[in-house]
Amino acid sequence: MVQSHAEDVDGYLAEVADPDRLTALVRIRELCRTELGGHEELMAYGMPAYRRPGGEPEIAFANQKQYISFYLMRPDVREGFEERLAGQDMGKGCLRFRRTERIDFDLVRDLLKAVAARPGEVC
């Protein structure tokens, strides 16, 4: 699934066929909902995303063909976590998790907490 046409996150998750990936994506969603208090959950660019009311998405995740993507669209948070992100498979603003058992959910939680702590510029 590269881009979904689901209308909401529940519909998006219903499209995920792999049970291990579904479990991981549900856990990421739960972390987002827990840690991003005040953020709205929506579908943006065909994937689940989270934004402050009226703002641009700051976080998103996606079930890609070969990995799960976790999009961190806040350069200030990425810079603040530079050391912890150094060993991760990461593009400009996307963490790629190729194996579900290797997802560092503690890192994901800490990134989400940092995003929630204060507004910042979105790239």
Question: Measured between alpha carbons, how far is 41 from 87 in angstroms, rounded to an integer?
Answer: 29
Q: Which domains does the chain have, with CATH numbers?
A: 9-117 (3.90.1150.200)
* Secondary structure of residue 90 in the 3-state scheme: strand
Residue pLDDT, tens place only, 48-101: 999 999 999 999 999 999 999 999 999 999 999 999 999 899 988 899 999 999
pTM (2 d.p.): 0.95
Q: What secondary structure letter does DSSP report for 100?
A: G
Contact 31, 110 (CB under 8 A): no
Q: Is 48 exposed, middle or buried (0-12, 13-18, 19+ CB in 10 A)?
A: buried
